[in-house]
Amino acid sequence: MNPNIHTRGRRASGLALSIAALLFSSAAAATQDDRGVMDTLQVHGFVSQGFIITDDNNFFGPSSGGGGSLKFTEVGVNASLRPLPNTLVSGQVLSRRAGDEGEDAVPRLDHGVLDYQFLSDENRSAGIQLGRFKNPFGFHNQTRDVAFTRPGILLPQSIYFDRTRSLGLAADGGSAYLSQRLASGDLRVQVGVGRPQAGRDLAQVLVLDEQPGSIDGRTSAIGQILYEHDGGRFVAALSAARVRARFNSRSSGPGDGDFEFEPYILSLQYNSEDWSLTGEFALRKSSLSGFEGPQSARNFDVTGESGYLQYTRRFLADWQWFLRYDVLYLDRDDRDGRDFAEATQLPAHSRFAKDLTAGVQWRFHPQVLLSAEYHRVDGTGWLPGADNPDPGATERRWNMLLLQTSLRF
């Protein structure tokens, strides 16, 4: 394993401690000045445990080994406090194990911000956030770690990659937001600038994880505009970002390289009393450049496209089922991966994935959720590399069953 991973882990832990110190120092100051402020302190958490079985390929651990995999665990604790009426301090620490990639399950700072709202009235609000903020893209990224908010055990992998999760999750910097009430609905805008978390998962996808050097996030930008009509009956959002990272090579390494990722995501949703229809579509430009000589083969510049359509039906008081079709092409000019396979001798099916999913959720208690879903997948475009180190040993068509129990407090 690249030793720089541990360095980034220590940095994240240091930031987590800083946010925690800020939160509790604010609580202490508030207690001295106005004990009523302590009434705003809230602490919540969640625990989720999954079980995964696949007939071929591995997902989040040795899922195809016959006994399935229990290596999908999420534990989070979050707290918030208002030291002033227009100031919120909040943070969440998350421990996540997702197969071999997350086997250590070290608690890390998921997000931690100081939120100052300088404008607030019955029609609009505006403010800024400083710290580690959740990236506003799509419908689900900002709440993706809480099972109760997900439209299934797994988010649609065409939009919300788990194999490069760290890159899209959050950024260290600042963001600004504006909410405006209109005659026909509500409009929300958020923009942010910061450094993304470029973890080991990104290095693995770029085949740089075993190279001497480190990959680090560079200053990036993200923004989203979201509109809700008629109390949320119709929701539309447009998200865009320019995410940058750099591989800094040691003298014995392959040289320095720059990575850029530019996703553009259109999100639409219609909600009725008993059912919802949700669709998201993305164009994703990605490039790796700067390598020279024999290493220039690492350079690439491609545009991928992906999207999903999901129908959710609510029945009885606390049951719902869903049906989803999810499709991913890593290169829209080479959808079937044949050109890639000829150039690299790697499987063509590693460049796409078509996933038909059926699932059911039962919330038999407000704080307990039981979920099950079945995936029929053609392609391995979003299969985690850490669980499948030999791409040539993967199967194009495979099936997956997931079960999950989730509790919150």
- Tell me what the pLDDT averaged over the chain comes to: 89
Lowest pLDDT segment from 50-59, 245-254, 277-286: 245-254
Question: Pairing relation of β-strands 397-408 and 368-379?
Answer: antiparallel
Q: Which tens digits make up the pLDDT trace of 182-200?
A: 999 999 999 999 999 887 7
Is residue 1 scored above 70 in pLDDT? no
Whose CA is closest to 133, among 215, 239, 221, 11? 221
Is residue 6 scored above 50 in pLDDT? no
The DSSP 8-state label assigned to residue 167 in this structure reads H
- The average pLDDT across 136-151 equals 92
Lowest pLDDT segment from 79-83, 126-130, 142-146: 142-146
pLDDT of residue 19: 52
Q: Which tens digits make up the pLDDT trace of 362-389?
A: 999 999 999 999 999 999 999 988 899 8
- The average pLDDT across 204-215 equals 86
Express as a percent the part of the chain with pLDDT over 90.
71
The parent domain of residue 164 ranges over: 4-408
Q: Which tens digits make up the pLDDT trace of 261-319?
A: 999 999 999 999 999 999 999 999 999 999 988 888 889 999 999 999 999 999 988 99
pLDDT of residue 22: 54
Rounded distance between C-alpha atoms, residue 168 and residue 249, angstroms:
23
Q: Which tens digits make up the pLDDT trace of 22-53?
A: 554 554 554 445 556 778 899 999 999 999 99
pLDDT of residue 12: 44
- Domain with 87 in it: what CATH number? 2.40.160.10
Residue pair 51/402 in contact by the 8 Å Cβ criterion: yes
pLDDT of residue 229: 96
Residue pair 321/295 in contact by the 8 Å Cβ criterion: no
Rounded distance between C-alpha atoms, residue 351 and residue 286, angstroms:
14
Is pTM, for the whole model, over 0.85? yes
pLDDT of residue 66: 84
Is residue 77 scored above 80 in pLDDT? yes
Based on the structure, what is the number of domains in the chain?
A: 1
